[in-house]
Amino acid sequence: ALAFSGGADSTLLAYLAKEAGADVLAITYDNQIFPTGFLEFAKRRTSELGIRHEIIENNFLDVGDVVENTPQRCLVCRRLMYGAIKQRAFDEGYEIIIDGNNVTDLTHDRPGILMKYEFEIESPFIEAELETPEIHKFLDENNIEYSNSTTCLATRVKTNEIVTIDKVNRIDHCEGYVKEITGSDVVKLREEKNVATIELSDLDTILDKEKIDPIVQELKLSQYDKILLNLKAIESDDELILDDELEKGANNLTLRKRLPFGINILETDRILKNKENDHISNIETIEDIGYIKLHIDEKESRIFRDGKISIKNNKNKKDAKESLVNILPYIRRTV
């Protein structure tokens, strides 16, 4: 059974499962606060792929932690989603549940990913050590259609600001309008204290007065006090390691990466010691200082409570990436 949103990852899993002749059930969870067209797209793609499709509906605007928009919101959301998907799968006779999480997702600030472990959801792309750019490349080269609009609209509202149906509808309408005017593949509108910040995957599509003026007018009509533009484009194909994260030594490179979340070093220590892994050895946790010493592929490494990871003695960028990929699935974040 596949947790299916119609996005790149779950679409490729559905495609591959069908190609492999697997008996796959796609399950889509509709929390009532996804962008317009989300559910219709999921229905159409599963039909085109010839895959059985089930839909679970639940209005998350009736869920306190989601409405109050606490830092725990994504954990609550994913707990409800995965719990319901797992139950539906079991009810339909499916014992294996998979999702589209990939290695790149392990480096993003998405706390809901913790629920994958709690509900024992398998992630084939993590097992296969695949990254977002590789998945997008395969989809594009094989002309496999997927949706770029599969993220919950509640995530657009600043944490601790109340989420209401009026805010969700306004964000949905304005994102759709900006997307129509600009033609940008991905548009997100962030809302904080009635200020709208527009983010796009292609900034060139909006940098035109004939486009900016109607967008400002429409968003003002939607009762936003101020409209801002984020000058950093949305990047869906970000690299796992950036060049400036590699520090040159005399004969090797040291990777110094900072993850955008804290690390639960005690839980990470427990996971590391309970799993057999030929790449990892010499694990020692220094709790009072807040880091784990270990060897990854025989390289001296550190994992710090504040999210920093260091891996020494890498031959090149590819070598550093391979070692990072070998440790990421074992890291457990704090929320």
Is the pLDDT score of 276 beyond 90? no
Fold of 243-330: TATA-Binding Protein (3.30.310)
Q: CATH classification of 164-229, choosing from 1.10.10, 3.30.70, 3.40.50, 3.30.1660?
A: 3.30.70
Q: What are 84-123's pLDDT values in tens digits?
A: 999 999 999 999 999 999 999 999 998 899 999 999 999 9
Strand order in 308-314's β-sheet?
A: 246-248, 253-258, 308-314, 299-304, 291-296, 280-286
CATH 3.30.70 domain locations along the chain? 164-229
Instruction: Write the pLDDT tens digit of every residue in 127-140.
Output: 999 999 999 999 99
Residue 321 has pLDDT above 90, yes or no: yes
pLDDT-based confidence at residue 277 (cuts at 50, 70, 90): confident
Instruction: Give yes or no for residue 237 having a pLDDT over 80.
Output: no
pTM: 0.92
Domain with CATH 3.30.310.10 in the chain: 243-330
- Numbered ranges of CATH 3.40.50.620 in the chain: 2-141
pLDDT score, position 64: 84
226-229 β-sheet, strand order: 187-192, 195-200, 226-229
Please compute Rg for the chain using Cα positions: 21
Task: Provide mean pLDDT across the span 36-47.
Answer: 95
Fold of the domain built from segment(s) 2-141: Rossmann fold (3.40.50)
The mean pLDDT of the chain is 95
- Residue 54 scores a pLDDT above 70: yes
pLDDT confidence of 73, banded at 50, 70, 90? confident
- The answer on pLDDT for 326 being more than 70 is yes
Instruction: Give the pair of three-digit tokens for residue 112.
Output: 């809901």
What is the rounded average pLDDT of the residues 294-317? Answer: 97
